Amino acid sequence: MPRNKYPEETRQKIIEAGVKTFQEKGYEHSTILDIVSNMDGLTRGAFYHHFKSKEEVLQAICSKLFSDRNPFDIVRNEKGLNGLQKIQKAMKLNLTDFADEYKPLRIASLSLLDSPQIFKAQMEMNLSISRKYLQPLIEEGVADGSLKVEHPQLVAELFVILFNFWLMPVIFEGDEEYMQNKAEMATLILENLGVPIYDDEYEELGTNFVASLADKP
């Protein structure tokens, strides 16, 4: 197989083919051959040069979705907002994304947790996000007086574990009322730790978020 002069372009085409395939057929019913058929003439060999499985494609899609729509990047340089307000706005932006065209992919990504290797990779990515993006905002809030947090790194880590793992129904199954109670408890835990993210707008978005988790595409 000739050396690919543009490996990043090829990888991007595969990711785009994965997006199209998962949205058209659903993640569970998609195969690697389905993805290859949407790769604009690229071969199965090109697929396996970059990915080992459709799980890896979905993980790459989810990572790209975060990097393209990183709410912490959006808010961190906003003028006129203190640390707490930036965290609140980032959370609202993240919750709003669950209603966009990528919702089927986000819900499908929950199946990644069936794989211990992918679960570990997801956990490492989320902890990296907590330290790179969320912890600095908490520290900013402590510095400007909008937050009273004794251990910013630990709170940031717990923050992402609560919202990206503890609230995921694939790990803790339950009906919508159960999930709503958990979401309310998560916000209460953070409030007691010095990060009060709750307000009326957040409550409405949070309710929609819980419903989106229960609504399979």
Whether residue 143 sits in one domain with residue 121? yes
The count of structural domains within the chain is: 2
Q: Are residues 164 and 193 in the same domain?
A: yes
Q: Is the pLDDT of residue 47 over 90?
A: yes
pLDDT in tens, 93-143: 877 765 454 555 555 555 555 567 667 777 888 888 899 999 999 999 999
pLDDT > 60? residue 35: yes
Residue 26 belongs to domain spanning: 7-51
For residue 34, what is the domain's CATH number? 1.10.10.60
Q: Residues 27, 74: one domain?
A: no
Predicted TM-score (pTM) of this structure: 0.74
Domain termination residue (choose one: 33, 51, 69): 51
% of the chain exceeding 90 in pLDDT: 36
Average pLDDT taken over every residue of the chain: 82
Please check whether residues 134 and 43 belong to one and the same domain.
no
Task: Categorize the per-residue pLDDT at 7 as very low, low, confident or very high, splitting at 50, 70 and 90.
Answer: confident
Three-class secondary structure assignment of the chain: CCCCCCHHHHHHHHHHHHHHHHHHHCCCCCCHHHHHHCCCCCCHHHHHHHCCCHHHHHHHHHHHHHHHCCHHHHHCCCCCCCHHHHHHHHHHHHHHHCCCCCHHHHHHHHHHHHCHHHHHHHHHHHHHHHHHHHHHHHHHHHHHCCCCCCCHHHHHHHHHHHHHHHCCCCCCCCCHHHHHHHHHHHHHHHHHCCCCCCCHHHHHHHHHHHHHHHCCC
2 domain residue, yes or no:
no
